[in-house]
Amino acid sequence: MATRVACIGECMMELSERPDGSLLRGYGGDTLNTALYLARLGVAVDYVTALGDDPWSEEMLAAWAAEGVGTAQVRRLPGRMPGLYIIRTDDKGERSFHYWRDSAAARDLFSGPGAAETRAALADYDLVYASGISLSLYGEAGRGALAETCRAVQARGGRVAFDTNYRPRGWPDKAKAQSAFRDAMAAADLIFASSEDLEWLYGPEGEEEVLRHHGRCEIVLKGSGSPPSVRVLAGSDDVTVPASPVAAVVDTTAAGDSFAAAYMAARLAGRPPAAAAACGHRLAGAVIGHRGAVIPRSAMPDLPLATEQGRP
Ligand code: ADP
């Protein structure tokens, strides 16, 4: 049976304000981007979230299904709505993000009606992926329920991946984020960390927070720089894999999300960590060469995911 992956999080309605004040509608979310790219790479993936029973929730579901993302674990909460944000671009081209998300359906995934069913279903997946943004949605009790669910996944032989996407505005204070990230890293089997996120969150010694897990789990530490390198630590291996320069960086939205998708797809196909990182760079390199989070299908690079003669 194909490996089943669950990506947990929130997709929001996105409105981009144009110079004349009109709004262009889209939708977006970090873990959704990862799910979408996993599906494009042939991985059996479900997006796990909650939506409302409004027309936009319907549209999102249809769009995800059209991309091959499984929607069986999307809970529908009657009377609720997805979160929403507006992207405003000032006259210097600088973008700012403005959110209406406190009452978003996705925040009740681990606490509202039906949470027990979601948790039971999640325990059956082979790989469960969540990000720091996912963690910021749930509050203390919901995060506790998610942590318990991850332990159930691992008890059944599944794995848990965590991506340190840190957005300060999602957290009531930094201390809460610091402790939630520490717990999530300590519980993960695979960590995608960006040195920038770790520094914002923990200060100059931030990388130590993830490197202390070397040996216990697989770590992909994304550096800054242009083009950036990633350091992959798995077992006793510690290798640095540089990205190839990208001729024109157009928009870095979803760079990390797509990197994680290609890395996981390659690992699930049996490729070793350094080869998986090269796949991550290839896909992320294509994504940043296009506007928006989701590139045209025709621009998807042909990644060497299969192992030679099927052997890792
Ligand atoms: P995010 O901030 O979304 O986490 P990162 O900045 O960590 O994204 O970049 C993720 C990946 O995107 C990098 O590991 C690399 O593969 C690719 N990438 C980002 N910026 C560049 C660049 N300037 N040149 C080439 N690749 C890049």
Is residue 91 in some structural domain? no
Of ligand 1's atoms, which has the minimum distance to the CA of residue 283? 16
Atom of ligand 1 nearest to the CA of 222: 7
CA–centroid distance, 299 to ligand 1, in Å, is 17
Does the residue 151 lie in any domain?
Answer: yes
Using a 6 Å cutoff on CB, does residue 132 contact ligand 1? no
The pLDDT assigned to 34 comes to 98
Beta carbons of 218 and 191 less than 8 angstroms apart: yes
Question: Rounded to 5, what percent of the chain is helix, strand, coil?
Answer: 40, 25, 35
Residue 257 is a catalytic residue: yes
Establish whether residue 33 lines the binding site of ligand 1, counting it when its CB lies within 6 angstroms of any ligand atom. no
In a domain, 308, yes or no: no
pLDDT computed for residue 26 by the predictor = 94
Our answer on whether the CB atom of 125 is closer than 6 Å to any ligand 1 atom is no
**Is residue 197 a part of any domain in this protein?**
yes
Residue 1: the pLDDT is 61
**Can you tell me the distance from the alpha carbon of 153 to that of 12, in angstroms, rounded to the nearest whole number?**
27
Domain enclosing residue 227, as ranges: 4-10+30-82+102-294
| pLDDT of res. 149 | 98
Integer Cα distance of 143 and 229 in angstroms: 31
Which tokens sit at 175?
A: 């201390």
CATH number for the domain spanning 180: value is 3.40.1190.20
Ligand 1 centroid–CA 11 distance in Å is 21
pLDDT (tens digit per residue) in 212-228:
999 999 999 999 888 99
Nearest Cα residue to atom 17 of ligand 1: 284
- Reduced to 3 states, what is the DSSP secondary structure of residue 99? strand
| CA 61 to ligand 1 centroid distance, Å | 28
Which phi and psi angles does 120 have, rounded to 5°? -65, -40
pLDDT value at residue 307: 65
Judge residue 90's burial from the number of C-beta atoms within 10 Å of its C-beta, 0-12 exposed, 13-18 middle, 19 or more buried. exposed
Q: Is residue 250 part of a domain?
A: yes
- Kindly tell me the number of DSSP H helices and DSSP E strands found in the chain: 9, 13
**Domain count of the fold of the chain:** 1
Residue 299 lies inside a defined structural domain of this protein: no
- Report the pLDDT value the prediction gives residue 308, as an integer from 0 to 100: 54
Consecutive 10-residue averages of pLDDT for the chain (312 residues): 89 95 95 98 98 97 98 96 93 89 94 93 97 97 97 98 96 98 98 97 97 97 92 96 94 96 97 97 97 95 77 46
Whether 288 lines ligand 1, by a CB cut-off of 6 Å, is yes
Please state the atom number of ligand 1 nearest to the C-alpha of residue 227.
24
Q: How crowded is the C-beta side of 279, counted as CA atoms within 13 Å?
A: 26
In a domain, residue 306? The reply is no
Q: What is the pTM of this model?
A: 0.96
Q: Is 243 in the pocket of ligand 1 (CB under 6 A)?
A: yes
Q: Whose CA is nearest to atom 16 of ligand 1?
A: 281
The atom of ligand 1 lying closest to the CA of 165 is: 4
Catalytic residue from among 46, 108, 189, 257: 257
Asked if the structure places residue 17 within a domain, the reply is: no
Segment holding 265, helix H or strand E: helix 255-268
| Residue 196 alpha carbon to ligand 1 centre in Å | 11
Tell how far the Cα of 258 is from the centroid of ligand 1, in angstroms.
9
Give the C-alpha separation, 28 to 106, whole Å: 13
